[in-house]
Structure 1
Amino acid sequence: MIPGAVILAPIAEELLFRGCILNLLNKKKINNHLAVLIQACFFVLLHNFTYQNTMSSNIGIVQSLVDAILFGYARQYTKSLYTPITMHMTGNAIAVIERFIF
């Protein structure tokens, strides 16, 4: 499960959201900031399908949105998928480590 969360999921998600969706929005000549926000909203919808109107759930939504925006801007400005993939892997690795510590 750990390799899936730390390696496979970040690669697959970055290929989908920052590779396909963000690339498609850019080809449609949508403003860069709006394109990043749109793909970030799709990312949040995928990650928060069990919304429960609790503080923890709300924090998770905001965290996912901020992460996706950062990943999107990293993709836009570096013109590479390697940067957001590495960022995503790092974030997921930290989350996995936190689960073992706390």
Structure 2
Amino acid sequence: MIVEVLYALILWSLVFILTIIFTSIISIGTKLSKESPWLGAVMQFGYIVFSLLVAHFLAGGLVIIGKFSFSLENLLEVSVASYLLVLTFYFITLKALKGEEYVPPFAPRNVVELVLLTFIMAPIGEEILFRGLLEGYLLAKNVNFYVSVILPAILFSLVHWVPFRAAPVKHRFLILFFALIAGLVTGYYRAVTGSITIAIIAHAIFNMPGIGRVIKHTS
């Protein structure tokens, strides 16, 4: 199992490094600011392309990413579960932060950026990398179910530290904690349903709190 886990981490790291290089090249070539939401979309595009390439050539084929089909029952279950968790976290956040606000400089500034990055590119890109390539490879190699779900969730949470490293401590802790919970939920449903689409939908639901921030920013 250790060998499979290490190889999976190498595959994940390869995609991550290639995406950073690709995003940096685009940033320099287009002079996009590092804080531009559009550069975030470029990064997610990199996750998608490089994850699929690595899966095809180094991980046994695109089949490990997961199937695109899903049942209505699975859709309803994951939607309700994700939405209830979003509501729970929303009220926890209100109580914990007590009105203290933080808007990251790279946050979407209008509806177009919100829809493109928060509900399309980020859910697709991050799920294909974390739940598709990484978790999918672990599951395909019959690695322990809990390891296959929890490891990608932990990494998913930790990578959020980089863009939110300048956030106040409370905000940063809540973001990383919420990302961990979201990663566990999307990972669980990816594992039990075999569908990457279900994970993408759940991820999009977990991103719903971003709607309020954009409305407040543009009003």
Alpha-carbon RMSD across the aligned residues, in angstroms, is 1.8
Structure 2 matches for 1:6-45, cutoff 5 A?
6-45=119-158
- Residue 188 (structure 2) pairs with residue 73 (structure 1): yes
- Residue 178 (structure 2) pairs with residue 63 (structure 1): yes
Q: 72-81 or 52-61, which moves further after superposition?
A: 52-61
Compare relative contact order (CA 8 Å, sep 6+) and give the higher one, 1 or 2. 1
Distance in 2 (alpha carbons) for counterparts of 1:86 and 1:77: 15
Moved >4 Å (runs of 4+)? none
Question: Which residue does the alignment assign to 2:212?
Answer: 98
- CA deviations 1:43-90 (Å, max 9, x no partner) are 112222144671211111110000000000010111101111111112
TM-score (norm 1): 0.87
- CA deviations 1:4-51 (Å, max 9, x no partner) are 221111111111111100011123322111111100111112222144
Select the structure that is richer in helix: 1
Distance in 2 (alpha carbons) for counterparts of 1:79 and 1:15: 13
1:54 aligned to which of 159, 165, 169: 169
Distance in 2 (alpha carbons) for counterparts of 1:83 and 1:27: 18
- Please identify the structure whose Cα radius of gyration is greater: 2
